[in-house]
Chains A and B, each alone.
Chain A
Amino acid sequence: MSDFTPTIRAFCCHYTSQQTCAEGPEGLKQDGFPENVSLFRVPCTGKLQVSTLLQAFEDEVDGVYVVGCPAESCHNVKGSQRAAKRVAAVKKALEELGVEPDRIAMYHMERGFHPEFIAAAQQMDKTITKLGPSPLKGEAA
C-alpha cells in the first residue's frame, strides 16, 4: 500500500480559502499542500448538496472533505452548519454501503488561517492513504 497516492477532492468556501488561493499553485506546493488534493472553491459550503459529495465518489475519488467557517460564525449564518449536516449524511450513506465513513470529513476554521488549512489537507491525505483505495471504485471485485 506504500505506493498508493489517494485522489482527494476538497470543497472549501470562499472565506476559509481566501489566503490559500492567494498563494497560487506554486506557493501551495511550497507550503506543503498535497498535490493529490483538488481544491473546489464554492461561495458558501452551505451550497453543497449531498449529491455533489456523492458524485465525487462516483467520479472515483478516494476521499472528500469540506472546509467551512466556524459553525457559530459562518459568513452566511448557517452555511457551514448545513454543510456539516450534509457531510454527516454522506458518512451515514457510506456506512450503509459498507465503506469507511472517514473517507469524508468536515473541517471548520476561521478565514485566513492558512497553516490550519494546509494541515487539514495533510491530515486528510494521511487518513485516506492509510485507508487505501476507495472500494467504491469497484477495483476490489
Chain B
Amino acid sequence: MIIAERKPLAEIVEMTRNHENILVLGCRGCVTVCSAGGEREVELLASLIRLGAKKEGRKITVQEGVLVRQCDKEYVDSLDSWKNGYDAIVSMACGVGVNFIANLRPSTMVYPGVNTTFFGGSQDQGVWTEQCAGCGNCVLHLTGGLCPVARCAKSLMNGPCGGSQNGKCEIHSEVDCIWQMIHDRLERLDRKEQMLEVAPIRDWRTAGHGGPRKTTRDDLTV
C-alpha cells in the first residue's frame, strides 16, 4: 500500500489560513489502512484545525468527508453531490488523490494534508516499512523476492557494498542488509549461484527518470 503521514499541523494551518470553509477529505484506500488519512484521522485533523483557528480568534467552518478512493474519477465526481459549500479541500489521501482533485476540479483549491512517503507493508502494529520503489522494471525473480532497489540504502544491483556488519546496513544500523538477506534466502532455496549473475547497467527510465509514467490497457478501454 501507499504509506503516508500527516503533515505538521502548523504547515496545514498556514496553507489554509485564508479559507473560512474547509472540507477535510479522507480516503478509504491505503491511507485508511496505514492510519494516516481515513475517517478517524479526518476527525482528528478537523478538530485540530478548529482548535487552532479558535486559539487565533479566527472563524472557520471545517467539514469532514471521506471518499471510497480519491484516485478514481467516479469517486471524485461524487464531490458534486456534496450539499454544503466549501472554499478549499484538505485532502488526506496520498499525493495521487490531491492530483486527481486538482485535475478534475479546475476551480477548487486543494491542499495536501499528508506527506506521501513510500510503498510499504505493515511490519508490526503501527510500524510500516518500505518494500517496493515502483521502479518499473522488477528484478525480484533474481533476488529471491527481496528488492535491492527499495531496500538497499544504495540501491545496489550486484551484491552488498561491503560496509554491512553482522547482517545490518552501514547506513541504518537497525535495518537488515538486504543483500545479506538475499544471499541467505537464495542459499536456503539452493539457488545461491544466481548471485554470480552480473546485472547489467540499469536503465532507470522506467523508474520515472524519463518523465511521468503511464499504463494503458487496450483491453480495458472502450
Residues of A within 8 A of B (CB): 49-51, 54-55, 57-58, 93, 96-99, 135-138, 140-141
Contacts and interface: CB of A to CB of B under 8 A. Distances in A.
A51 B48 contact: no
B155 to A, nearest CB: 34
B51 A51 contact: no
A100 to B, nearest CB: 12
A137 B54 contact: yes
Contacts, number: 44
Contacts of B43: 51
Given A51-B43, A93-B9, A96-B8, A57 B57 contact: no
Given A49-B40, A93-B9, A99 B55 contact: yes
27 contacts: A51-B43, A51-B47, A54-B47, A54-B48, A55-B47, A58-B51, A93-B9, A93-B44, A93-B48, A96-B8, A96-B9, A96-B10, A96-B48, A97-B9, A97-B51, A97-B52, A97-B55, A98-B55, A135-B55, A136-B54, A136-B55, A137-B54, A138-B55, A138-B57, A140-B55, A140-B57, A141-B56
Contacts of A98: 55
B44 A138 contact: no
B168 interface: no
B40 A51 contact: yes
Contacts of A137: 54
Interface in B58-85: 58
B50 interface: yes
Given A97-B52, A140-B57, A141-B57, 11 more contacts: A49-B40, A51-B44, A51-B47, A54-B44, A54-B51, A58-B51, A96-B10, A98-B55, A99-B55, A136-B54, A141-B58
Given A97-B55, A141-B56, A50 B44 contact: yes
A97 B48 contact: yes
Contacts of A140: 55, 57
Nearest to B53: A138
A138 B54 contact: yes
Nearest to A85: B126
A49 B70 CA distance: 26
Contacts of A58: 47, 50-51
B13 to A, nearest CB: 9
For A54, A99, A137, the residue with the greatest tally of chain B CB atoms inside 10 Å of its CB is: A54
A58 B52 CA distance: 10
Nearest to A96: B9
Contacts of B57: 138, 140-141
Nearest to A50: B44
